[in-house]
């Protein structure tokens, strides 16, 4: 199996007026994006771009696709997170380059699409703070918001620490 290339390069010396389609994939390692303990990037990023001559430069437009392996912030389950960016748009003005290197642009665009919070599901119920059970897959008998008004009675029991001088 071939490893995905580590840069996105396009020959632009003789671009036809309608431009050229540039499709491919690039390893996240090539983008300088390293895995951390919340987000891993096991699959290469896919790009589908169109590179076309325009007045005063070269226009790059298109989309990026990637699948991240994330750890949910609430329940600590590992899940796949699909990233999609359809509005890649970069203008290279007055370039006389024979080859455009789009690696930095692709890196920026995909990093902007990275999730700020990792949630396996928008309403992930998380782990019970008392017993640690994953409330998405089982219930527990600890007081929890799903048991009607328990959350309010639990709040009512909170002690507000006296103000100190």
The span of 27-35, 83-91, 128-136, 148-156 binding Zn ion (CB under 5 A) equals 128-136
Position among 21, 97, 131, 151 found at the interface with Zn ion (CB under 5 A): 131
Distance CA 51, CA 58 (A): 7
CB 6 within 8 A of CB 26: yes
The span of 13-21, 69-77, 95-103, 151-159 binding Zn ion (CB under 5 A) equals 69-77
Position among 60, 70, 120, 127 found at the interface with Zn ion (CB under 5 A): 120
CB 7 within 8 A of CB 31: no
Contacts of 78 (CB under 8 A, 6+ apart): 69, 70, 71, 72
Give 50 or 133: the residue with its C-beta nearer to Zn ion.
Answer: 133
Distance CA 151, CA 99 (A): 61
The number of C-alpha atoms within 13 Å of 56 and in the hemisphere containing its C-beta is 3
Position among 12, 45, 102, 124 found at the interface with Zn ion (CB under 5 A): 124
For the record, the structure tokens of 101 come out as: 């290197």
75 binds Zn ion (CB under 5 A): yes
Q: How far is the CB of 51 from Zn ion (least distance, A)?
A: 40
153 binds Zn ion (CB under 5 A): no
Binding residues vs Zn ion (CB under 5 A): 72, 74-75, 120, 124, 128, 130-131, 140, 142
């Amino acid at each position: 199996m071939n490893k995905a290339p580590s840069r996105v390069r396009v020959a632009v010396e003789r671009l036809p007026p309608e431009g050229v389609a540039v499709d491919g994939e690039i390893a996240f390692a090539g983008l300088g994006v390293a895995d951390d303990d919340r987000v891993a990037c096991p699959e290469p990023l896919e790009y589908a771009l169109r590179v076309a001559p325009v007045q005063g430069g070269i226009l790059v437009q298109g989309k990026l696709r990637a699948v991240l392996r994330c750890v949910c912030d609430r329940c600590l389950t590992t899940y796949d997170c699909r990233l999609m960016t359809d509005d890649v748009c970069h203008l290279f003005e007055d370039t006389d380059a024979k080859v455009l290197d789009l690696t930095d642009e692709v890196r920026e665009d995909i990093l902007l699409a990275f999730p700020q919070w990792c949630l396996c599901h928008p309403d992930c119920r998380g782990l019970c703070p008392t017993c640690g059970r994953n409330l998405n897959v089982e219930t527990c008998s600890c007081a929890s918001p799903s048991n009607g008004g328990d959350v309010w009675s639990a709040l009512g029991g909170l002690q507000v620490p006296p103000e100190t001088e």
